[in-house]
């Protein structure tokens, strides 16, 4: 003999399918939800866009730039080289360096090293600020 449970409340049409399934499992089986609702591609695109905007604003604030266009170029150059969690890599810092200091190859080595260290610190600080801004909205 099988037992069924009658639904006591009418289904909420605005409730997501995942949430309905979890509620049903919780009701029928006495289970509990272990994982959050799965992310969709649109969620990832929204997060990426929010991260790029936050990074643009932070780069513009922390780095000495001649224009907003330069900040856009830095973000565009860095973004493919960031790791999946939005953290800096050597390639991302090099991409930013190439945009921020295009004539660095003409400088003495000591000056290059000092400026590179300063630029890396500023870009890293901007990236941390952008990551924090995005994490606050998650």
Task: Give per-residue pLDDT as tens, 36-58.
Answer: 666 666 777 888 888 899 999 99
* Statement: residue 18 has pLDDT above 80: no
- DSSP codes joined into one string, 31-90: ----SPPPP-HHHHHHHHHHHHHHHHHHHHHHS--S-HHHHHHHHHHHGGGS-TTS---H
Q: Which two tokens stand for residue 58?
A: 């932070």
Query: Could you state, in order of their start, the residue ranges of all structural domains in the chain?
Result: 41-137
pTM of the model: 0.65
| Listed range (2-6, 11-15, 110-114, 132-136) with the worst mean pLDDT | 2-6
Instruction: Compute how many other C-beta atoms are within 10 angstroms of the C-beta atom of residue 128.
Output: 15
Instruction: Compute how many other C-beta atoms are within 10 angstroms of the C-beta atom of residue 58.
Output: 23
Q: What is the mean pLDDT of residues 107-135?
A: 91
Q: Which residues, including other chains, have CB under 8 Å from residue 77's CB and lie 6 or more apart?
A: 95, 96, 98, 99
- Cα separation, 12 vs 56, whole angstroms: 41
> Is there a contact between 63 and 94 (Cβ–Cβ < 8 Å)?
no
Q: Which pLDDT does position 112 carry in this prediction?
A: 93
* Statement: residue 12 has pLDDT above 60: no
pLDDT category of residue 120 using cuts at 50, 70 and 90? very high
- Cα separation, 134 vs 138, whole angstroms: 7
pLDDT in tens, 63-82: 888 888 999 999 999 989 98
């Amino acid at each position: 003999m099988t037992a069924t449970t009658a639904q006591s409340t009418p289904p909420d049409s605005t409730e997501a399918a995942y949430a309905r399934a979890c509620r049903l499992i919780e009701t029928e089986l006495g289970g509990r939800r272990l994982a959050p609702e799965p992310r969709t591609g649109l969620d990832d695109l929204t997060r990426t866009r929010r991260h790029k905007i936050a990074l643009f604003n932070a780069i513009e604030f922390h780095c000495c730039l001649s224009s907003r266009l330069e900040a856009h170029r830095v973000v565009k150059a860095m973004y493919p080289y960031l790791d999946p969690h939005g953290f800096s890599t050597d390639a991302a810092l090099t991409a930013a360096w190439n945009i921020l200091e295009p004539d660095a190859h003409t400088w003495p080595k000591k000056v290059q090293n000092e400026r590179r260290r300063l630029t890396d610190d500023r870009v890293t600080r901007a990236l941390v600020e952008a990551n924090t801004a995005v994490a606050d909205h998650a």
